[in-house]
């Protein structure tokens, strides 16, 4: 029976069920597509014989909203959705967003702030002793004590505040099935302490083996240096081969214990997950609202990999998906593409083939497969490891197969491309194929900044690498007679960026003759090295002090400098240049960023 999973008691009865095994409560609208974590987890459980009911975006103010299916046989599964609910709701300036792409019609306000905690507390109020397992990116990245930007405070593990029994962190396919099987076999939820990729509470550490005890929550609150050290210990224990258990004390409330990560999926497992019977659509109940906008962005995109060994410090992928690359087979991806071509609204364009980093299709070195990723160094930063395997052949073969499919006019690559990895490939073939077949006028890449001091704090390659990439890209396009441009993603006010570096970035844009339409101001989201720097003022890798622009006004000035041509930014740009001692950039010369404002004779108003 290929259909959406039940969203009501009537749906459950139609399937001939008297009860469900699990109720999945989600902060997103119900979209049954493998780009949505809720769809993957529920379909994986279904494939293992479990009956799942979906409650999408319940009214958290009403107890009845979590009683749709009655008491489930085994427990509740709770996720805030594909995004952290606070990132979903607020801009970096903490202003309320006006759209939610994961809600029907894009309407904001369909989920609460800190959705995982609110949903769990509601469930616990209604069903006192029911097992509650939380997952998804919000729970995954808040699994231990963490800095919360929105409240500007250090919060507990989400396990405590939510009153849940377990966290399944990471992508969750292995751990959720093991948890379900354990519950189904009669094991009490309090005794499920042995599953990789989970976090649980313990009264003491008597039954925990081979663990690292982190500083207590009380110590972390007292000393930011302790938090920086603790965070880096966590960062060094994210590999499924080398990681140990981590234990964090909460005084009278006992310990929160994190088991080592679950093993990454193998190729056959990835294929199985992505070929489950998804409806590849939002639930029909949302049709009247205009659907769910997020689906339109990814409906005709293909996931080819997971994980990233890029190691950007502002990215939480190391904590969530890990650094080990996991891939699907060509055959599985081609089958999915063929199904796309049969859909009525397919226009011949595959919008993307990739993942966190599109051009990673294998582990960074052979050693990782047996020994795990290195805990004391990165694959690409500050320079490429001598063991790094650089090869685009597999990805190129995949792209060629896809663009040769009947009904496919063009295959785009819009996921992030690591230009430093491209530069390590002495063969021009990948860049030639990319320029010839897989972009349309513009290639988006992420240098993020041009000041090496800031790039070092970002974990990104130095500016000279980006400049060499631009020349290579220009040469290849000229060879094929194509006029195609690079559109850089840039970030303002990252830790390490003073007004001096912000001005240098503005000067670079002046020379480039380009003003970006969008600028990403650094957003301190949970569980990144950059967020740790932002909160503590220390680089957790070296424990050296880092300059951090935390003042909202300074952050606004740094952001404005990137868009210095925008008249709305004039006052901020002028103030920034004056504070940086760069009044030489205020004038009428070719090197100036802004001109002085003319003063009327009465000296009372400006124009």
What would the pLDDT profile of 479-490 be if each residue is shown by its tens digit? 989 999 999 999
Range list of H helices, 565-606: 570-579
Q: Is residue 348 part of a domain?
A: no
Mean pLDDT of 316-341: 96
The total domain count for the chain is 2
Angle between helix 552-562 and 570-579 (nearest 10): 110
Whole-number pLDDT of residue 597:
82
In sequence order, which residues have a C-beta less than 8 Å from that of residue 580 and are 6 or more positions away? 499, 500, 502, 503
d(CA 241, CA 235): 14
Distance of CA 500 to the CA centre of its chain: 30
User: Across the chain, what does the average pLDDT equal?
Assistant: 95
C-beta neighbour count of 583 within 10 angstroms: 12
Mean pLDDT of 258-270: 97
b/e burial code for range 450-479 (CB count within 10 A of at least 16 → b): bbeebbbbbbbbbbebbeebbeebeebbee
Residue at which a domain ends, from 182, 201, 220:
201
What CATH number is associated with residue 96?
A: 3.40.50.280
Helix (H) or strand (E) holding 232: helix 224-235
Q: Is residue 464 part of a domain?
A: yes
What CATH number is associated with residue 510?
A: 3.30.750.200
- Helix/strand/coil for 202: strand
State yes or no: pLDDT of 603 exceeds 60: no
C-beta neighbour count of 318 within 10 angstroms: 24
Q: Is residue 297 part of a domain?
A: no
Q: Is residue 330 part of a domain?
A: no
* 599 — pLDDT class (breaks 50, 70, 90): low
State yes or no: pLDDT of 516 exceeds 90: no
Q: Is residue 264 part of a domain?
A: no
Identify the domain containing residue 157 by its residue range: 9-201
Mean pLDDT of 530-537: 98
Whole-number pLDDT of residue 1:
66
What would the pLDDT profile of 12-40 be if each residue is shown by its tens digit? 999 999 999 999 999 999 999 999 999 99
Q: Is residue 111 part of a domain?
A: yes
Q: Is residue 101 part of a domain?
A: yes
Q: Is residue 514 part of a domain?
A: yes
Residue at which a domain ends, from 566, 584, 599:
566
Q: Are 250 and 160 within 8 A, CB to CB?
A: yes
Cα 409 to Cα 343, 355, 404: the distances in Å are 15, 21, 9
Mean pLDDT of 392-405: 97
Structure pTM? 0.94
Largest CA distance in the chain: 86
| Cis check: omega of the bond before 400, within 30 degrees of 0 | no
């Amino acid at each position: 029976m290929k259909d959406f999973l039940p969203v009501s008691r009537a749906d459950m009865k139609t399937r001939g069920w008297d009860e469900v095994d699990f109720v999945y409560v989600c902060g997103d609208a119900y979209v049954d597509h493998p780009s949505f974590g809720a769809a993957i987890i529920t379909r994986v459980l279904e494939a293992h014989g479990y009956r799942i009911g979906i409650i999408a975006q319940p009214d958290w103010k009403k107890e009845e909203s979590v009683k749709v299916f009655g008491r489930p046989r085994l427990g509740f599964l709770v996720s805030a959705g594909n995004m952290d609910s606070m990132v979903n709701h607020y801009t970096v300036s903490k202003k309320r967003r006006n759209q939610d792409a994961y809600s029907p019609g894009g309407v904001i306000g369909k989920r609460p702030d800190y959705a995982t905690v609110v949903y769990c507390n509601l469930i616990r109020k209604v069903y006192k002793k029911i097992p509650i397992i939380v997952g998804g990116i919000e729970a995954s990245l808040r699994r231990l004590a963490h800095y919360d930007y929105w409240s500007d405070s250090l919060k507990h593990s989400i396990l405590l505040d939510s009153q849940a029994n377990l966290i399944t962190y990471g992508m969750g396919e292995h751990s959720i099935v093991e948890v379900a099987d354990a519950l189904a076999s009669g094991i009490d939820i309090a005794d499920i302490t042995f599953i990789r990729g989970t976090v649980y509470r313990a009264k003491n550490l008597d039954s925990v083996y081979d663990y690292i005890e982190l500083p207590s929550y009380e110590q972390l609150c007292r000393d930011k240096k302790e938090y920086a050290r603790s965070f880096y210990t966590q960062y060094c224990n994210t590999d499924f081969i080398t990681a140990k258990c981590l234990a964090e004390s909460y005084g009278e409330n006992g310990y929160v214990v994190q088991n080592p990560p679950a093993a990454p999926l193998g190729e056959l497992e990835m294929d199985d997950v992505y070929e489950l019977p998804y409806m590849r659509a939002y639930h029909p109940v949302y049709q009247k609202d205009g659907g769910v906008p997020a689906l339109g962005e990814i409906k005709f995109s293909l996931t080819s990999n997971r994980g990233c060994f890029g190691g950007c410090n502002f990215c939480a992928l190391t904590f969530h998906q890990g650094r080990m690359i996991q891939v699907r087979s060509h055959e599985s991806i081609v089958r999915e593409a063929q199904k796309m071509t049969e859909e009525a609204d397919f226009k011949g364009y595959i919008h993307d083939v990739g993942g966190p980093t599109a051009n990673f299709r294998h582990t960074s070195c052979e050693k990782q497969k047996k020994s795990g990723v290195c805990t004391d160094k990165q694959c690409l930063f500050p320079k490429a490891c001598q063991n790094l395997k650089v090869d685009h052949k597999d990805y190129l073969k995949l792209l060629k197969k896809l663009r040769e499919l009947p009904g496919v006019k063009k295959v785009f690559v819009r996921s992030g491309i690591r230009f430093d990895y491209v530069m390590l490939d002495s063969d021009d073939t990948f860049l030639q194929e990319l320029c010839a077949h897989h972009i349309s006028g513009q290639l988006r890449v992420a240098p993020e900044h041009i000041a090496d001091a800031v790039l070092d704090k970002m974990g990104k390659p130095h500016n000279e690498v980006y400049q060499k990439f631009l020349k290579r890209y220009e040469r290849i396009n000229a060879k094929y007679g194509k006029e195609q441009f690079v559109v850089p993603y840039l970030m303002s006010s990252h830790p390490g960026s003073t007004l001096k570096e912000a001005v240098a970035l503005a000067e670079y844009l002046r020379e480039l003759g380009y003003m970006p339409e969008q600028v990403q101001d650094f957003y301190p989201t949970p569980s990144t090295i950059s967020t740790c720097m932002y909160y503590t003022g220390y680089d957790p890798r070296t424990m050296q002090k880092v300059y951090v622009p935390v003042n909202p006004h300074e952050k606004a000035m740094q952001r404005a400098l990137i868009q210095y041509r925008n008249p709305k930014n004039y006052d901020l740009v002028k103030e920034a240049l004056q504070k940086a001692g760069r009044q030489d950039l205020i004038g009428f010369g070719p090197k100036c960023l802004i001109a002085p404002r003319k003063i009327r004779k009465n000296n009372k108003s400006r124009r």
